[in-house]
Amino acid sequence: MTGYRTMTCGNTKYASSGIKQNVDGWTRRVEFEPGHDCIDDYPKCWQTMGGGRHGRSGMRLRILLGSEEGIVQFVMSASDWLPGSLDSIGSTKDGVAKFGVMATDLGHHWTRPTYEGEYVGQEACEFLHGASCFYDGSGLNAGPVLDRFLREGLDAVWESLEEYHRACSESATALSLKVSA
Q: What pLDDT is stored for residue 69 in this prediction?
A: 93
- In this structure, the dihedral spanned by the alpha carbons of residues 40, 42, 48 and 49, taken in order and rounded to 10 degrees, is 130
Q: What pLDDT is stored for residue 44 in this prediction?
A: 52
Q: What pLDDT is stored for residue 97 in this prediction?
A: 67
Q: What pLDDT is stored for residue 52 in this prediction?
A: 45
Looking at residue 101, what DSSP letter applies? E
**β-bridge mates for residue 24, sequence order:** none
Q: What pLDDT is stored for residue 34 in this prediction?
A: 80
To 5 degrees, how large is the angle CA 105–CA 26–CA 155?
60
Dist. CA 36–CA 12, nearest whole Å: 8
Q: What is the pLDDT along the chain (181 residues), one digit of tens a residue?
A: 455 656 555 556 666 778 899 999 999 999 988 877 766 655 554 455 444 456 667 788 999 999 999 999 999 988 777 766 677 777 776 776 667 789 999 999 999 999 999 988 778 888 898 899 999 999 999 999 999 999 999 999 999 999 999 999 999 999 988 877 6
CB 76 within 8 A of CB 146: yes
Distance, CA of 161 to chain centre: 13
